[in-house]
Structure 1
Amino acid sequence: MAAIHREPGAEKADKIVESGAAVSAVNLAEVVRKFSAGGALVADTRDILGALGLEIVPFDTEQAYMAGALEPQFDALGLSLGDRACLTLAKILHLPAVTTDRQWAKLRVGVDIVVLR
């Protein structure tokens, strides 16, 4: 979202996207919801996101178990399903998890965390 809306951290996000980023289908659903809430058509959202060239990774059974197991450890931080899906995918793909949530810097889940702002 930071890259699309040119928010603080967009330049860092651009570099990450250009290097070949992957996104969980759960996180894709969150982005589509935000665009739709702002009045965007799904077709337009698909075009905008498609232009970024992100790999969209289906959320499977193994990811569901891994994401669910994260929840008890991080209840105090209020991690959403999307947050846990992101962290799980980062762990599986051996990529950093990218966020704008500074609280994530406190997480110790076996993946590097990149906080955009």
Structure 2
Amino acid sequence: VRCLAGELNQAFLNLIVNAAHAIGDAVRDRPGSLGTIHISTHGDGDFAEIRIRDTGTGIPEHIRSKIFDPFFTTKPVGVGTGQGLAIVYSVIVEKHRGTLELISEVGKGTTFVIRLPFVPEQEG
């Protein structure tokens, strides 16, 4: 995969930080429980696939269409900027011509599926 490594690292970090916040909120509601973040990768035909899954609070259906919008946040004033997922979208979809899929269930967690195109050797 041809990539802008620093920007891709920032996108992954933003997803992991959001996952950690969602887990923090979830374990607060379930004393004694622990959360997990699971990251997996594999090649899928013409794409490298990266999955970042958490056992956090999940994302409610009614806000899913807004989460990649700049300045959208569910956090209290002063806690988040609402830029994290907008940056993720920009880096993955706009700059790397990849795809970004959201799978989420409230109370169970969220998975972000990132697919980045492989570049043939002669183009790389």
TM-score range normalised by the length of the shorter chain: 0.3 to 0.5
Q: Which has the larger radius of gyration?
A: 2
Q: Which has the higher helix share?
A: 1
TM-score, reference length from structure 1? 0.34
TM-score, reference length from structure 2? 0.33
